[in-house]
Amino acid sequence: MPRTVLHLGAHKTATTYIQRKFAQNRGILKRHDLHFYKLEQLRKSFTPLVYGNKKENTAFISQMAETAAAGDVLISEENILGMAGELVKKGNFYPDIASRLKLVVENLNVEAPDIYLSLREYSAFVVSMYCEYLRHQKFIEFETFMDTFRKSGFNWTQVVRDVRSGSPKSRIFVWDFAKFRESEHEIVSHMIGFDADELNNKDESVRESFSQIAMDAYRALGTVLEGKEHRRMLQVLAINFPRGELYPAYKPLSQEETAGFQKKYAEDLADIAKNVEGVSFLV
């Protein structure tokens, strides 16, 4: 039977890195009879389907369904889950996973795609999502963003359960993002169905969050800049003050709260492994 693979992210878990790796190796994937859709194609013609704005390309989606019926297909698109701005707009990250995933499964006419999902420790995830939010949206204070996150009760157990609800017959494969660098080969090989050593490996770094000095400077300017101007300034600061040994990472949370999130994350991973049916941890 043809295999459809859905790599859903999550955001800030090396999704862009993985997508670029696959895009650079489309020829090799094709030689293994695995069709990969570039992210630009999906964002333009497919992803609008899950947001209900009627901007999807129905002919393109029909062709995707035909391709999936005839052979193996790989789709990597984190925005199927949602976007960073939904925390501010809707009060939670990924509030509509089940309904969106149902649309994907129905329109591709696939009963049980293999679903891949990387999870990230809560304190690192929310800070990275805040940085991602600032790349695309109007400036807000971190504490405003964080207050909404605290009230949302967001947790990965519910995310995985929602994925299961959206595609009940799927196999779901998950991994802890903290283990990605050491386990990339195993994860990617499992996803594509052959040895990842066959792929060309250009140097594409994972996009990190901002440095503390870049965020301090941006915070001072964010309230007086508007529109594209403030996003350009953030890009300039990120380039000139990159996170690293010289410029320490942006860390707005206290050690006590970070430790609490880390404990909660470990508990939730154990809960998913024990209590959510059809889920396998790759590493």
Find residue 173's DSSP bridge partners.
116, 280
pLDDT reported for residue 204? 57
Three-class SS state of 183: helix
180-192 and 15-24 helices, crossing angle to 10°: 50
Grouping H, G, I as helix, E, B as strand and the rest as coil, residue 200 is coil
pLDDT tens-digit series, residues 151-197: 999 999 999 999 999 999 999 999 999 999 999 999 999 999 999 99
Q: What is the model's pTM?
A: 0.93
d(CA 186, CA 166): 26
The whole-angstrom separation of Cα 187 and Cα 75 is 15
Residues of the chain with pLDDT under 70: 203-208, 222-223, 226-227
CA distances from 22 to 29, 119, 193, 243, 245 (A): 8, 20, 13, 26, 30
Eight-state DSSP code of residue 207: P
One-letter amino acid at 97 equals: I
User: Residue 137: which of 234, 49, 44 has the closest Cα?
Assistant: 234
What's the confidence (pLDDT) of residue 227?
64
Residue 120 CB partners (closer than 8 Å, separation 6+)? 10, 12, 13, 128, 176, 177, 178
**Alpha-carbon distance 105 to 103, whole Å?**
6
> Pairing state of beta strands 72-76 and 4-7?
parallel
Model pLDDT, residue 167: 98
Write down the pLDDT at residue 129.
96
- Cα 204 off chain centre by: 17
CA distances from 217 to 118, 211, 233 (A): 31, 10, 10
When computed from its CA atoms, the radius of gyration of the chain, rounded to whole angstroms, is 19
Cis amide leading into 10 (omega within 30)? yes
What is the rounded CA–CA span in Å between residue 199 and residue 193? 12
Please answer whether residues 231 and 117 qualify as being in contact, where contact means their C-beta atoms are separated by less than 8 angstroms: no
Of 216, 77, 202, 92, which is closest to residue 150 (Cα–Cα)?
A: 92
> For residue 128, which amino acid is it?
S
* 3-state helix vs strand vs coil in the chain, percent to 5: 60, 10, 30
